[in-house]
Chains A and B, each alone.
Chain A
Amino acid sequence: MKKTDIGVVGFMYAVCILFLSMTLKLKKGAQTYPIFIISLLAALTTLYLIQMIVGAKKNGVTSGSEDFEGFLPSQFFPLLGMIIVYLVVMYFVGFYISTIAFMVLSLLYLKISKLKILITTIVLLLIVYCAFTMFLGVNLPTGLIFK
């Protein structure tokens, strides 16, 4: 058994409780199917919990850190943060400005040379413009500020 699996089980039970609380507010006839699925998820999670306990008694408990071997928090979280900030910024200033900023900052952070950053950003924006704006006719977000 891995310690990290406790989190998986906890998450699944939390999902069951959240959906059950919402289901109970629905009309009677509309409750049956979601309750069936929630029960299925809860039953499978309980089955896995039993497997975990049996496994723990037989083979002991491991930390589960092997799943995160080579994980670099100092690289992963800033990059994840940049992606989230990119989405927020895009909402306000639009696609092109936010994308240029995101590409430059993330590539600088990943220690890519300035010439490669320039080429990558231009090529990517060209691909997006040709494929989505010209070919599909999609007006990419202009941002709240410029509306």
Chain B
Amino acid sequence: MTGTLALMGAGFINALSLMNIIAMAAGVTIGIVIGCLPGLSAAMGVALLLPLTFTMEPSTGLIVLGAIYCGAIFGGSISAILIHTPGTPASAATAIEGYQLTLQGKAGKALGVSSVSSFFGGLLSCISLYFFAPILAKLAMKFGSPEYFWLSFFGLTIIAGVSSKSMVKGLISGALGLLISTIGMDPMMGVKRFMFGQSSLYEGINVTCALIGLFSMSQALILAEKKIKERKHATKFSDKMLPTGSEMKMLAPTIGRSWIIGNLIGLLPGAGASIACFLGYNTARQFSNHKEDFGHGAIEGVAGSEAANNAVTGGSLIPMLTLGIPGESVTAVLMGGLIIQGLTPGPDLFIGETAKMTYTFFAGFVLIQFLMLGIGLLGCRGFAQISRLSDAILIPAVSVLCVVGSFAIHKNFVDVVIMMIFGVLGYLIRKFDLNNAAVVLALILGPIGEKGLRRSLALSDGHIGILFSTPVCWVLIILCILGILSPIFMNKMEANALEKAGGDMPNETGDDPVLSSD
């Protein structure tokens, strides 16, 4: 206990260094810009800027990525409120009440409520990050090779969860990702596999290149296929932004409920901020004393949605950091950030020197929320103008950044070609209802699962019984079965939430809300 408190204290001291504060401010600003642009998504932003964190201290690099993640989730609400176009699917429910408030000349109030609710949602989610992460990490320390095999298998069953449209197609995407993950040197026998004569594929497909291609380049291609539309002018506003004391008193229970919802959704693999925002919104309406205001500009609706989607951020990091299992696309990309820094997601992050880095990141995550509030409130007017930036400018600009980002990894042109191949593949995957997140999860988890399986079999002289030899194995097997069945519950939950939310659904966002969970 004392050790943990000491780590927490040291984490805050490290996180408060000038370099980290600058990194947080830059990350939050970039995140908000990405979030408020309807063509871009949080996963895409984090993937695109991943190479910039290579030379940073691991904790600073993670803080930057975390700041972009939180900023993007919040930023989506700005365009949702001002131009009725959610920047990310996570703000789809915010648009319902937020835009109504804008039409009534209360855009400032809506943005203020959104900023404050996002702040509290994000801040409170850090509590669960501090509380649950070390507990889960301690449990994971007892894992051997068979458990790691099942753990990665459990991660892969999440693929079914993130593939709401067709479970089989999601699993096909996962199997394709697994096959791609076998490219490179065989981990046990040292044999070259499927390298197509390229020595740069010796260590396998570079996950960062694949991430940039699948999430960022494919997004540029998605934007390129449709007619470039002029976006609405963002409404100018001059009303008071900060909620009054009585308004805060009214919003406090809504924010509290949305925090719990967002946290639980964040912990659930396969669920994400886009589901949380609707659940938060519905719950706010259910418990409101002014139900008649909903659909006509209720600030409780904005608070319910925004507190819930930002509460997802902290919760979603827990399974990724402690078990090495990313539950959805943004955390999969963040996991790529950890791997780039030479760190292995899992219990090792909570031991020795690495624990200092982890707790610095946690402390940074707390401070990010404060910066998000400040930058959000002060910069709303500027960000509102950015949200009008034309897709015609975004397409070539994003393409260039994808090229530079993938080249910067190893200063190798082959990586650029790999990124481009994954970009086209990612585009086709999205067009044919397959799943990019599933491919990424399989690319990350494939090598872990392969090592776990083959080491287990080597230890037991090929007896498959070793995979069923401990109670933890059986718990993980049950979780795998639940993972496969999860789409049934997820679909029901999302359909219920959407149906209850009703209202005027905006539909132009960075991603398809069904397929992406950022």
Are A70 and B226 closer than 8 Å at their CB atoms?
A: yes
- Asked if B54 and A136 make an inter-chain contact with CB atoms under 8 angstroms apart, the answer reads yes
Q: Is B5 an interface residue (CB 8 A)?
A: no
Number of interface residues of B (CB under 8 A): 53
Q: How far is the CB of A85 from chain B (nearest CB, A)?
A: 12
Q: How far is the CB of A26 from chain B (nearest CB, A)?
A: 6
Interface string of B405-417 (1 = CB under 8 A from A): 0011001010011
Contact indicator B179/A72 (Cβ below 8 Å): no
Of A12, A83, A99, A131, which is in contact with the most chain B CB atoms at under 10 Å from its CB? A83
* Interface 9-mer from B255-263, B314-322, B359-367, B390-398: B390-398
User: Contact check: which of A26, A44, A87 meets B172 at CB < 8 Å?
Assistant: A44
Contact with A along B17-54 (1 / 0, CB 8 A): 00000000000000000000000000000000001101
Cβ of B172 and Cβ of A48 under 8 Å apart?
A: yes
Task: Looking at the assembled complex, report how far the CB atom of A118 sits from the nearest CB atom of chain B, in whole angstroms.
Answer: 12
B397 touches A34 (CB 8 A): no
Q: Is the CB of A112 within 8 A of B400?
A: no
Is A79's CB within 8 Å of the partner chain B?
yes
B168 contacts A51, C-beta separation under 8 Å = yes
**Of all chain A residues, which has the CB nearest B389?**
A120
> Which of A5, A34, A48, A84 makes the CB contact (< 8 A) with B420?
A84
Contact B227 A70 (CB under 8 A): yes
Known contacts: A22-B194, A30-B193. The answer to whether A86 contacts B399 by CB under 8 A is: yes
Question: Are A112 and B399 closer than 8 Å at their CB atoms?
Answer: no
Q: Does B250 contact A (CB under 8 A)?
A: no
CB-nearest residue of chain B relative to A68? Answer: B431
* Residue B186, interface by CB 8 Å: yes
Contact of B179 among A34, A51, A84 (CB under 8 A): A34
B176 in contact (CB, < 8 A):
yes
Interface residues of A in 54-113 (CB under 8 A from B): 67-68, 70-72, 75-76, 79-80, 83-84, 86-87, 90-91, 95, 99, 102-103, 106-107, 110-112
A5 to B432 alpha-carbon distance, docked (Å): 7
- Give chain A's interface secondary structure class: helix
- Decide: B193 and A26 in contact? CB cutoff 8 A: yes
Q: Which of B169, B175, B193, B433 counts the most A-chain CB atoms under 10 A from its CB?
A: B175
Determine if B221 is an interface residue (Cβ-Cβ < 8 Å): yes
Partner of A34, one of B169, B193, B228: B193
Q: How far is the CB of A115 from chain B (nearest CB, A)?
A: 12
Give A103 to B400 CA distance when docked, in angstroms: 8
B179 and A112 contact, CB distance less than 8 A: no
Bound Cα distance from A145 to B193, whole angstroms = 34
| B431 engages A67 (CB within 8 Å) | yes
Please report whether the interface of chain B is mostly helix, strand, loop or mixed according to DSSP.
helix
Q: A67-B431, A102-B396, A141-B413 are in contact. Are A75 and B224 (CB under 8 A)?
A: yes
Are A34 and B182 neighbours in the complex by a CB distance under 8 Å? yes
Closest Cβ–Cβ distance, residue B433 to chain A (whole Å): 7
Contacts A102-B400, A112-B392; is A87 near B224 (CB within 8 Å)? Answer: no
Against B, the Cβ 8 Å flags (1 = close, 0 = not) of A104-147 are: 00110011100010001000100010011001111111000000
Enumerate B145-202 residues with CB–CB distance to A below 8 Å: 166, 168-169, 171-172, 175-176, 178-179, 182, 186, 188-189, 191, 193-194
The listed residue (B172, B182, B401, B403) touching A33 by CB distance below 8 A is B182
Q: Given A30-B189, A107-B396, does the pair A80, B404 have CB atoms closer than 8 Å?
A: no
Of B189, B396, B424, which is within 8 A of A103 by CB?
B396
- Report chain A residues within 8 Å CB of B246: none
Q: Do B172 and A80 touch (CB < 8 A)? A: no
Q: How far is the CB of B115 from chain A (nearest CB, A)?
A: 26
B-contact bits for A1-29, CB 8 A (1 contact / 0 none): 00011011000100100010011001101
28 pairs from A and B in contact (CB 8 Å cutoff): A15-B176, A15-B179, A26-B186, A26-B193, A27-B191, A29-B189, A34-B193, A37-B182, A38-B179, A44-B172, A45-B172, A47-B168, A51-B168, A67-B431, A70-B226, A71-B226, A72-B225, A72-B227, A75-B224, A76-B221, A76-B224, A79-B221, A86-B399, A90-B403, A91-B413, A102-B396, A128-B400, A138-B407
Closest 8 CB pairs of A and B: A110-B392, A41-B175, A106-B396, A30-B191, A76-B225, A79-B224, A138-B408, A30-B186
Inter-chain pairs besides A83-B220, A103-B400, 10 sampled, C-beta below 8 Å: A4-B432, A23-B193, A30-B191, A33-B453, A48-B168, A79-B221, A79-B224, A83-B399, A107-B392, A139-B411
